[in-house]
Amino acid sequence: MDDSACSLASLRANEPLAGTAVESVDRWLLLEVTDVWAPKVLHTEALSKAVRDRLAAWTAEGSRTRLQLIRRPGRSGKRPLFALVSAAGQGARVELDRLDDVLDLELDAMPTEPLDPLVLVCVHGRRDRCCAQYGSAIYRSLQARIGDLWQTSHLGGHRFAACVLSLPDGLMYGRMRPEHTDRFVSALHAGEIADLDLLRGRCSYDRPTQAAEIFARRNAGDALGDTLEWLGTSASGEREWTVGFRSSAGEQQVSVRNEQIGASRPASCGGEPEAVTRFVQG
């Protein structure tokens, strides 16, 4: 990849991953679309205007709901899957006769049940070429090892490609490479966090809380995914927060602040340089 790639620019700028995941998402809508995805998914031509409008209403600002288009090579021509996944670990899956059947769904009335883990890998090349290159490589490396694996549309932060999301826990990873997949698969099956150095954050949290969770786990040396309970986040300054957690070791308060690091990089390939910020503890 040439030197203008946003992922390489982010690495050169030493941009940290902590606190960079999609934020404040409690519910994910996954819609299988095998046709070409538009750079902005709601502009995808395979979706009728009525379906686009319904999806836009479900994912409106403040809904804490996010749409991902998904696909799996080899499933072309099969009935499209629609899935609802909540951060609480519940979800529902239904096969549609056609994409317009989305209009017949009532999200809040769908019967849900506990979900096994599934994994999404961003390969959205029409949004950014780094996702196509690095995401496709990671998808291939995981394809034979994870049963419920899907290619997905933009997950945010293409400069951190390859971006990988595990559900229902909502843990988002960045800069994944094939050499990381052994640890990722083992951690997924064990219900653990794969690698704190690659973790961008837990998507149900806002970004300061995402960063604080990573710092808290580093402080405690705790890699398990379900032993740290978030108690709350409060602003303690214009760019400073205090975040409370409880674990088996007791309660702890983590102070985080957001600061510029004196470097710049484009947010996406071909974009203008922007200042880099990072979350730090203390």
**Pairing of the two strands 113-114 and 149-152:** unpaired
d(CA 172, CA 16): 14
Query: Nearest Cα to 21, choosing from 199, 213, 267?
Result: 199
The pLDDT confidence band at residue 78, using thresholds 50, 70 and 90, is confident
The 10s digit of each residue's pLDDT in 171-201 is 999 999 999 999 999 999 988 898 999 999 9
Q: Is residue 254 part of a domain?
A: yes
The CATH number assigned to the domain holding 140 equals 3.40.30.10
Q: What is the pTM of this model?
A: 0.94
Same domain, 271 and 256: yes
- Domain limits at 245? 206-281
Structural domains counted in the chain = 2
Which phi and psi (to 5°) does residue 233 adopt? -130, 135
Q: Tell me the sheet residues that pair with 7.
A: none
Choose the weakest-confidence range: 28-37, 201-210, 211-220.
211-220
Q: Helix or strand or coil: residue 36?
A: coil
User: What's the mean pLDDT in 62-85?
Assistant: 93
Are residue 145 and residue 193 in the same domain, yes or no? yes
Six-digit token string for 117: 């883990």
Q: Identify whether 154 is part of a domain.
A: yes
Q: Do 75 and 183 belong together in one domain? A: yes
In the prediction, which pLDDT does 4 show? 72
> Could you tell me if 182 and 216 lie in one domain?
no
Decide: helix, strand or coil at residue 11: helix
